[in-house]
Structure 1
């Protein structure tokens, strides 16, 4: 596994722990829908279905991970959410939310994890 993939997997593990601790139920990780793409984490927050994008960066990287959800990526995440619903369930009573977990790994110390709800 290359360093970039390992970094991403580590970030997804941190995000999964954060979401679980916050009371979300993890339904799937790295769920793929054909050529449309992949959802890092699919979870349920009460009666809300949550599609979560995880971005992990080392400190000093070009952009902060929270800047990673561009309008194009947001549209792709909405298409992926529709694909999930087509294959798994009808829209939940609480609707669908797209979240972002941004993780910055400093040279020293604990990772800085930010969870933004409803980014797209």
Structure 2
């Protein structure tokens, strides 16, 4: 595992912890759909399915992690959500929501974890 993937994995662990603290149940992490892509975290909140993209950055990197969700990436996440639903028996009664968790790791001190609901 290289440093970049270790950084991403650490951020996803912090994000999953934040989602659980917010009352969600993590169903899967790093769900892959062939060459189409990957969903970082799939969770459930009540009867709503949450597809969560996680972006992790070190303090001082060029772009804040919450700015990394482009319209193209949002469209890809919607497509992946549809494929996850097809593979797991259909849409939940509460529908699907796409969330973003941004993790910033400062040089010193605790990580900053921001959760934004319904980004796409």
Rounded Cα–Cα distance in structure 2 between residues aligned with 1:94 and 1:9: 29
Shift of 1:74: 0.2
Shift of 1:68: 0.8
| 1:47-58 aligned within 5 A | 47-58=47-58
Backbone CA RMSD of aligned residues: 0.6
Structure 1 residue runs of 5 or longer lacking an equivalent are none
Partner of 1:68: 68
Shift of 1:36: 1.0
Partner of 2:14: 14
Matched positions, count: 120
Name segments (4+ residues, structure 1) moved above 3 Å.
none
| 1:20-99 aligned within 5 A | 20-99=20-99
Structure 2 residue runs of 5 or longer lacking an equivalent are none
Rounded Cα–Cα distance in structure 2 between residues aligned with 1:11 and 1:89: 29
TM-score of the two chains, using structure 1 as the length reference: 0.98
